[in-house]
Structure 1
């Protein structure tokens, strides 16, 4: 008896990848968190999005390990948040004591924190992987 074929699945990938769901969920949570101004939701959503992008690139074979991609996504987010802060906010208002007062600064800090966490996770995981090998 012939095996029943499942549409959309190949012999190389017998099951569907979970990463697209996490990419969509991370992007949605980060959008909600950034636009509404919910700091923890924005940070979690961006970390989930960046981690899912690293996972999907690793699974598809574009990257050997997810850690450099996670480091790169984190660095890009941090640099973009810093550049937007310097461009849009007067230098006198850029201080950690002003984070809860201005909506733009608070949102950019959330993006920068998520980027720094991803960069730290990617760096530490790469170092641990190198020392274990």
Structure 2
């Protein structure tokens, strides 16, 4: 009796594109309408998904260092918004908060998660 289904020669589908597609508008809506929690959540979803795609594609060995890079980018973008215009302060703080959470995850993961031997 034949087994039906996908064979090993076909590439498995990646879950990351749908999360990237959701993260961008969620973050934009949160930043646009000044909803702090939505902006932070959308940015975390977007940056985490892009980091997962980088790991899956083989561009990064671990997910921790790209998270720190995204955190730096968010610090810069949030700092520009928070410290240059009075009307965008809370939006800038939301972006800086997302950057701080990504930096904490990246640094904590790099330091606390044990390195795995490749087979």
Cα displacement string for residues 1-47 of structure 1 (whole angstroms, at most 9, x for unaligned residues): xx9998xxx9362x210000001111111011000111100000000
Pick from 20, 24, 45 the counterpart of residue 27 of structure 1: 24
1:11 aligns with 2:5: no
- The answer for unaligned runs of 5 or more in structure 2 is none
Pick from 51, 57, 73 the counterpart of residue 60 of structure 1: 57
Structure whose alpha-carbon radius of gyration is higher: 1
Measured in 2, the distance between the counterparts of 1:35 and 1:11 equals 44
CA-based RMSD of the aligned residues comes to: 2.2
TM-score, scaled relative to structure 1: 0.76
Measured in 2, the distance between the counterparts of 1:107 and 1:80 equals 10
Measured in 2, the distance between the counterparts of 1:52 and 1:62 equals 14
Measured in 1, the distance between the counterparts of 2:65 and 2:84 equals 28
Measured in 1, the distance between the counterparts of 2:4 and 2:18 equals 26
Greater relative contact order: 1 or 2 (C-alpha under 8 angstroms, separation 6 or more)? 1
Pick from 104, 107, 114 the counterpart of residue 91 of structure 2: 107
- The answer for unaligned runs of 5 or more in structure 1 is 90-101
1:83 aligns with 2:80: yes
Find runs of 4+ consecutive structure 1 residues off by over 6 angstroms: 3-6
1:48 aligns with 2:32: no
